[in-house]
């Protein structure tokens, strides 16, 4: 029985993750909105943050490109998705305390939430990795605050949690809130580790600060879900700006049932959770929760002021999708709910004297979140079914192996998203540029609610201007002047004259799904200024140093473990 109590929460965490993913764990690639995985993501200069586009996928793209040299891209995606959900549930169980009832409840309330479901459907896997690491970061930072030893866990968790700008900022806040002390040495070491984990996107973002804009932040504001007003939706960790990824159950009365059940339960757990965690850690989690909720509701309550802030304060643009910040609210919410469930279980046990009372409460704690959002199960009722790439993709990549034309790749139509039939008609960021090997230029304009929001890559309007030229030879020369040497066209994608036009060149591949052309003009190289290259080299050196520290510390710990065995 003791063994069952010990391992049941861990088994439930992985079972819950598998239930949520369902068909996504099958053969193929899960391609949904911003989630694009390919068999072998080639290392590119742009992945270091040296390109003209804002470094939204720094350092995640480079990390994936390195890892899929060891683990095939399809398997790596499964490992990341299943690992994130399972590890997040396990972390919440650890944070919930020693009680098996609290651990099972904490796991369920942490994993089966609108935040996880909506971010998974939208394809924000770096945010989910951050969300998964947050409970572990709280535990590791609390240990660091006590003993001042950096070790392996904290650096490696920081690296996992900081694969994008938003994720890195949230991880940094949690670690600093929980782990920083008045002792100067340990505080400086912790801040140095946080800075190193975030150095690539911080430096590359600063170098692109002039290209960032603060326009149209209202399009990404927190929104209500079904009967729930936006702030109430945020209390339940929902309210994402993209209504297409909101489960249908969130549009029904079940949303209010969740509020009426979960909020009082969390309030019931406040006192025991505070006593168990201690004032320092509990207070830090409260502060983190307040920051997350405030950022999310700011986008709804005063989008104009956020737009002004993003336009005048470098880096503030990462706040525009405010609902992402609700990841900061998740650890405290799970701890409070788990403590509330444990408190109910103890009272029921005392009232009835039946040992089965605790099991009954645990079963209810599992059933309630699943019952409030039943359509999230099995890959959102099949929405996460994997796809396989057409043969034309492999043919185009093979044509570019070895000696390929110089210059970047441009994919036409010059639009960012596709809904290919081979992906079940589901909308996804065009995977072709990532599937092929060269650096690429993509259109970073975004269509939201029927409006086209301007992009921030200066080459986007330049490419559109080149495509608008009347003659194919002129278009070809203009594109080559922008550093483009290859054009791939997807004939089955919806198009218009604004985003697509013929060019002159040598046809390398011609299949029903892809046409690949080497331009009849020499691409003009786009040099990286020496100062920018030096700054990025320093940032990545700091990042690599933290990686080496974490790996070395992990190796030392494993060696010590085997010696003591």
- In angstroms, the Cα distances linking 312 to 214, 308, 309 are 8, 6, 5
For residues 71 and 201, membership in a common domain is answered with yes
For residues 113 and 234, membership in a common domain is answered with yes
Residue by residue, DSSP assigns 393-417 as: HHHHHHHTSSS--SSEEEEES--SE
Q: Which residue's structure tokens are 């999310």?
A: 296
For residues 429 and 308, membership in a common domain is answered with no
d(CA 189, CA 519): 51
For residues 302 and 445, membership in a common domain is answered with no
Give how far the C-alpha of residue 236 lies from the chain's centroid of Cα atoms, to the nearest Å: 19
The answer to whether position 536 is within a domain reads no
- Enter the DSSP assignment of 276: H
For residues 192 and 69, membership in a common domain is answered with yes
**Dihedral over Cα of 544, 545, 550, 556: its sign:** positive
For residues 201 and 325, membership in a common domain is answered with yes
d(CA 90, CA 161): 16
Q: Which two tokens stand for residue 255?
A: 């949303």
The answer to whether position 532 is within a domain reads no
Radius of gyration of the chain (CA): 25
For residues 234 and 217, membership in a common domain is answered with yes
Number of residues that make up the chain: 565
Give the sheet arrangement for strand 515-519, strand by strand. Answer: 440-441, 408-412, 484-489, 515-519, 505-510
The answer to whether position 178 is within a domain reads yes
The answer to whether position 8 is within a domain reads no
Three-state SS for 74-107 is: HHHHHHHHHHHHHHHHHHHHHHHCCCHHHHHHHH
d(CA 413, CA 415): 6
For residues 281 and 185, membership in a common domain is answered with yes
Contact 205, 315 (CB under 8 A): yes
The answer to whether position 317 is within a domain reads yes
Residue 104: Cβ-neighbour burial (10 angstroms; 0-12, 13-18, 19+): buried
Q: Which two tokens stand for residue 382?
A: 């099949």
Contact 330, 237 (CB under 8 A): yes
pLDDT at 1: 47
- Per-residue buried b or exposed e for 231-265, using 16+ beta carbons within 10 Å of the residue's own CB: ebbbbbbbbbbbeebbbebbeeebbeebbeebbeb
State the pTM of this model: 0.96
pLDDT at 83: 97
Contact 486, 514 (CB under 8 A): no
The answer to whether position 528 is within a domain reads no
CA angle 5-6-12, nearest 5°?
A: 80
Cβ neighbours around 188 below 10 Å, total? 11
d(CA 473, CA 489): 17
Segments forming the whole domain that contains residue 272: 22-48+62-382
Instruction: Determine phi and psi for 523, rounding to 5 degrees.
Output: -70, 135
**Dihedral over Cα of 43, 44, 45, 50: its sign:** negative
For residues 402 and 346, membership in a common domain is answered with no
For residues 212 and 272, membership in a common domain is answered with yes
Q: Which two tokens stand for residue 416?
A: 């960012």
pLDDT at 5: 64
For residues 375 and 395, membership in a common domain is answered with no
pLDDT at 559: 87
Domains held by the chain: number: 2
pLDDT tens, per residue, the chain with 565 residues: 465 567 888 999 999 999 999 999 999 999 999 999 999 999 988 899 888 777 888 999 999 999 999 999 999 999 999 999 999 999 999 999 999 999 999 999 999 999 999 999 999 999 999 999 999 999 999 999 999 999 899 999 999 999 999 999 999 999 999 999 889 999 999 999 999 999 999 999 888 775 555 456 778 899 999 999 999 999 999 999 999 999 999 999 999 999 999 999 999 999 999 999 999 999 999 999 999 999 999 999 998 888 888 777 777 778 889 999 999 999 999 999 999 999 999 999 888 877 788 889 989 999 999 999 999 999 998 999 999 999 999 999 999 987 788 899 999 999 999 999 999 999 999 999 999 989 999 988 777 766 777 777 888 999 999 999 999 999 999 999 999 999 999 998 988 889 999 999 999 999 999 999 999 988 888 788 888 899 999 999 999 999 999 999 999 988 887 877 5
For residues 366 and 410, membership in a common domain is answered with no
The answer to whether position 548 is within a domain reads no
Helix (DSSP H) and strand (DSSP E) numbers for the chain: 22, 9
d(CA 439, CA 408): 5
The answer to whether position 484 is within a domain reads yes
Residue 67: Cβ-neighbour burial (10 angstroms; 0-12, 13-18, 19+): middle
Which residues are within 8 A (CB) of 527 and not within 5 positions of it... i.e. 6 or more apart?
none
* Of residues 360, 365, 313, 317, the one with CA closest to residue 339: 365
């Amino acid at each position: 029985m003791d063994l069952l109590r010990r391992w049941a929460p861990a088994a439930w965490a992985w079972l819950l993750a598998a239930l949520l993913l369902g068909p996504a764990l099958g053969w193929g690639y899960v391609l949904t909105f911003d989630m694009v995985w390919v068999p072998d993501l080639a290392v590119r200069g742009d992945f270091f943050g040296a390109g003209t586009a804002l470094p939204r996928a720094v350092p995640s793209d480079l990390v994936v490109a390195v890892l899929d040299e060891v683990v095939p891209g399809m398997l790596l995606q499964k490992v990341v998705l299943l690992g994130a959900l399972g590890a997040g549930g396990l972390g919440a169980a650890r944070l919930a305390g020693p009680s098996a009832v609290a651990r099972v409840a904490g796991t369920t309330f942490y994993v089966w939430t609108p935040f996880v479901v909506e971010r998974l459907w939208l394809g924000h896997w770096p945010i989910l990795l951050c969300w998964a690491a947050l409970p572990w970061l709280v535990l590791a930072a609390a240990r660091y605050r006590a003993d001042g030893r950096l070790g392996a866990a904290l650096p490696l968790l920081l690296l996992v949690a900081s694969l994008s700008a938003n994720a890195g900022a949230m991880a940094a806040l949690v670690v600093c809130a929980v782990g920083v002390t008045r002792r100067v040495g340990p505080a400086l070491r912790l801040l140095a580790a946080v800075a190193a984990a975030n150095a690539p996107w911080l430096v590359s973002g600063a170098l692109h600060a002039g290209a960032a804009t603060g326009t149209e932040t209202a399009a990404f504001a927190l929104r209500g879900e079904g009967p729930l007003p936006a702030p109430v939706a945020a209390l339940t960790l929902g309210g994402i700006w993209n209504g297409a990824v909101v489960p249908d159950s969130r549009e029904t009365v079940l949303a209010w049932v969740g509020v009426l059940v979960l909020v009082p339960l969390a309030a019931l757990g406040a006192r025991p959770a505070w006593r168990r965690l201690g004032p320092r850690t509990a207070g830090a989690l409260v502060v983190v929760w307040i920051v997350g909720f405030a950022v999310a509701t700011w986008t709804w309550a005063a989008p104009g002021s956020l737009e002004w802030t993003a336009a005048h304060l470098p880096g503030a643009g990462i706040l525009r999708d405010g609902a992402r910040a609700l990841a900061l609210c998740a650890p405290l919410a799970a701890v409070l709910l788990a403590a509330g469930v444990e408190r109910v279980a103890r009272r029921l046990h005392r009232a009835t004297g039946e040992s089965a009372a605790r099991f009954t409460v645990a079963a209810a704690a599992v059933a309630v979140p699943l019952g409030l959002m039943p359509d999230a199960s099995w890959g959102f009722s099949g929405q996460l079914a994997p796809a396989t790439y057409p043969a034309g993709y492999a043919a185009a990549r093979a044509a570019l192996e070895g000696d390929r034309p110089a210059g970047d790749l441009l994919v036409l139509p010059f639009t960012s998203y596709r809904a290919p039939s081979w992906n079940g008609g589901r909308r996804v960021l065009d995977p072709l540029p990532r599937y092929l090997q060269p650096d690429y230029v993509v259109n970073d304009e975004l269509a939201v609610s029927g409006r086209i929001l301007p992009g921030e890559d200066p080459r986007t309007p330049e490419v559109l201007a080149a495509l608008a030229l009347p003659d194919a030879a002129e278009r070809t020369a203009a594109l080559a002047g922008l550093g483009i040497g290859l054009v791939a066209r997807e004939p089955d994608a919806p198009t218009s004259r604004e985003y697509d036009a013929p060019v002159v060149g040598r046809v390398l591949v011609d299949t029903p799904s892809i046409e690949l052309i080497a331009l009849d003009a020499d691409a003009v190289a786009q040099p990286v200024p020496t100062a920018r290259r030096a700054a990025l080299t320093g940032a990545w050196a700091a990042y690599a140093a933290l990686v080496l520290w974490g790996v070395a510390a992990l190796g030392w710990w494993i060696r010590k473990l085997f010696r003591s065995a």
